[in-house]
Amino acid sequence: MSIAAGVKEILGKSLQIDADGNLVNLQDWDEEIAGEIAKEEGIEVLTEDHWKVINFMRKVYSDTGDAPSIRKLTMQSGVDTKLLYALFPKGPAKKAARIAGLPKPKGCI
Amino acid sequence: MSEENTYEPIKKVSIIVSKGSLEGVYPGLIMANGARMEGIEANLFFTFFGMEAIINKKMDHLKVATVGNPAMHMPTLLGSLPGMSALATHMMGKEMEKIDIPPVREFIQMIHDAGCNIYACKASVDMFHLKKEDFCEEVDDVITVGEFYETSAGANIIFT
């Protein structure tokens, strides 16, 4: 869990965010909030494939304490590298983590 | 990342890989992949022995150099024994797998799928008498140094 650096209004709720703008508390997140964060990131509608990635990330985070690497994402989430970049243009790991209500991934790959 | 700064974020990088040892190739690959992960446009340019990383017959057999590298902390005579380089390569490969760094071929494919263009250097290709068919399919083109600079317009150039 990261340290709160500010507060953000999403759907009328005041939610704590860290220095990167990601949610601090896992339990603040729900699917509606994910949809709102996605819009801020320029993704109007979260499709089934987006959800595959988001759910996989949340699962890995709850198991390991860190978001998965791009390699793990593309090998295990059911979404390949090309599709991953198409779904989350301009930085898939970081964007998907933010939408999934997780801190920025720590790994380099 | 909370400090205020007025610097422009990096938008585009051109990464040159010029060395053919395993430890010479990986930094460039990691930086190219990392750039794409951050949404930074990236081009990878392989020159001289760096081309070993994209030559079909060689890219699965890159080795760590155990001689001439003081950071290995291995006496030169020991490092020169048969099998030492293979052993060091094997050990490094195991450590890399642990932190999810893929083998060269898989990494090149992943980087290319991530939208990074991959080029071989024309001068090196001519010097080593290579053809486009000698390279893995991810290689987009063989280009001259002039074309490399054209492609790199607006980019930061990183030489490894």
| Domain assignment present for B3 | no
For B99-122, write each residue's pLDDT tens digit. Answer: 889 999 999 999 999 999 999 999
Question: Quick one: pLDDT at residue A89?
Answer: 87
Using a CB-CB cut-off of 8 Å, the residues of chain A touching B33 are: 70, 109
| Domain assignment present for B41 | yes
Select from B1, B2, B100 the Cβ nearest to the Cβ of A109.
B100
Q: Under 8 Å CB-to-CB from A29, ≥6 apart: which residues?
A: A23, A100, A101
For B41-64, write each residue's pLDDT tens digit. Answer: 999 999 999 999 999 999 999 999
Strand partners for A13? A10
B34 touching A (Cβ < 8 Å): yes
Question: Quick one: pLDDT at residue B3?
Answer: 62
A3 touching B (Cβ < 8 Å): no
Question: Domain tally for chain B?
Answer: 1
Residue located via tokens 């068919």? B133
| CATH code for the domain of B131 | 3.40.1260.10
Q: Which domain holds residue B17?
A: 12-65+103-159
Question: Domain tally for chain A?
Answer: 1
| Domain assignment present for A108 | no
Select from B2, B33, B115 the Cβ nearest to the Cβ of A109.
B33
User: How much is the mean pLDDT over chain A?
Assistant: 90
For B4-16, write each residue's pLDDT tens digit. Answer: 678 999 999 999 9
Q: Which domain holds residue A74?
A: 6-99
Strand positions, DSSP E, B11-133: 12-17, 41-46, 117-121
Using a CB-CB cut-off of 8 Å, the residues of chain A touching B109 are: 81
Mean pLDDT, to the nearest integer, of A68-81? Answer: 89
Select from B1, B37, B38 the Cβ nearest to the Cβ of A19.
B1
User: How much is the mean pLDDT over chain B?
Assistant: 93
Known catalytic residue at A18? no
Q: Under 8 Å CB-to-CB from B88, ≥6 apart: which residues?
A: B63, B64, B66, B72
Distance between CA B104 and CA B32 in Å, rounded?
13
| Nearest CA-CA partner of B50 in B28, B17, B26, B23 | B17
